[in-house]
């Protein structure tokens, strides 16, 4: 079983829409969680960390549900520039500080 | 400015050749990682290092080798034993402080390797 699983999409949404992605992780001992954004043929860049209490950064909201072992990302008022692949990342502090990446969810925002 | 630098950005290798990908960071990070990404797929861990002169195999280490002689540098050699080396290679680093949460990984711009 993969450490981190995501729906690959693509999610095709119109500008202004609200879209949500989920990601599940397999190891209940996982401690740190992140969402990264990756543009085509570029390196991943941190979008936001995911805190236990949930956190918001502008149009982006991240939630963690430890009981069900999933992480979510909500994007409100989608912009064309939000089109990218969103990677769910889990840091295994219990396992030599390794980072486990989901395969990514592709988002296409259309005019 | 602090960051991670990978070079070259594009690399072409003939079959049977070894090639070395460079990764340098000036973030004073202890931990460094090499990942491979194939089209439409996620990142897979090749090797990682938590400290100078020590490194561990990741999930797909066969056909690759690394060294960590300096804290700032973590070069990856793709050997001729790697049967399908064409991919996008990403180097990353992070603070390695046991018990510290939310220490994210920072990435270099990647090296795109093609076998010709």
pLDDT digits (tens, 9 = 90+) for B77-98: 999 888 899 999 999 999 866 5
A64 CA: distance to closest CA in chain B (Å): 13
First CA to last CA distance, chain A: 38
pLDDT exceeds 60 at position B75? yes
pLDDT of residue B96: 67
Interface of B with A (CB under 8 A): 31, 33, 35, 40-43, 45, 48, 50, 56, 58, 88, 90, 92, 94, 96, 98-110, 112
CA distance A5 to B32: 24
Taking residues A21-44, report their average pLDDT.
92
pLDDT confidence band for A54 (50 / 70 / 90): confident
Q: What is the separation of C-alpha A56 from the centre of its chain, rounded to a whole number of angstroms?
A: 13
Whole-number pLDDT of residue B102: 61
**pLDDT (tens digit per residue) in B5-50:** 999 999 998 888 999 999 999 999 999 999 999 987 889 999 999 9
Contact criterion met (CB below 8 Å) for B78 and B13:
yes
pLDDT tens digits along B54-63: 999 999 999 9
Cα–Cα distance measured from residue B112 to residue B102, given in angstroms and rounded to the nearest whole number:
29
Give the position of tokens 């990435």.
B107
Query: In 3-state terms, chain A is what percent helix, strand and coil (to 5)?
Result: 5, 55, 40
Residue A95: which residues within 8 A CB-CB, separation 6 or more? Answer: none
Question: How high is the pLDDT of residue B99?
Answer: 53
> How far apart are the C-alpha atoms of B84 and B64, rounded to whole Å?
11
Beta carbons of A33 and A50 less than 8 angstroms apart: yes
């Amino acid at each position: 079983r993969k450490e981190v699983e995501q729906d690959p999409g693509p999610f095709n949404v119109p500008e202004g829409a609200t879209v949500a992605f989920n990601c599940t992780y397999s190891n209940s001992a996982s401690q740190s969680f992140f969402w990264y954004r990756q543009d085509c043929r570029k390196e991943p860049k941190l979008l936001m960390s995911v805190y236990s209490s949930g956190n918001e950064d502008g149009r982006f909201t991240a939630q963690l549900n430890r009981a069900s072992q999933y992480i979510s990302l909500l994007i409100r008022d989608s912009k064309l520039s939000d089109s990218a692949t969103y990677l769910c990342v889990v840091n295994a502090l219990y396992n030599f500080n390794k980072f486990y990446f989901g395969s990514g969810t592709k988002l296409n925002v259309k005019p | 400015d602090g960051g991670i630098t990978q070079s070259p950005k594009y690399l072409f290798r003939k079959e049977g050749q070894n090639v070395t990908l460079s990764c340098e960071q000036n973030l004073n990070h202890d931990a460094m990682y090499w990942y491979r990404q194939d089209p439409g797929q996620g990142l897979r861990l090749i090797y990682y290092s938590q400290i100078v002169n020590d490194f561990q195999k990741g999930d797909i280490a066969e056909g690759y080798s690394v060294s960590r002689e300096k804290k700032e540098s973590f070069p990856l050699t793709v050997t001729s034993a790697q049967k399908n080396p064409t991919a996008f290679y990403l180097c990353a680093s992070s603070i390695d402080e046991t018990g510290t949460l939310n220490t994210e990984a920072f990435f270099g711009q990647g090296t795109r390797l093609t076998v010709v």
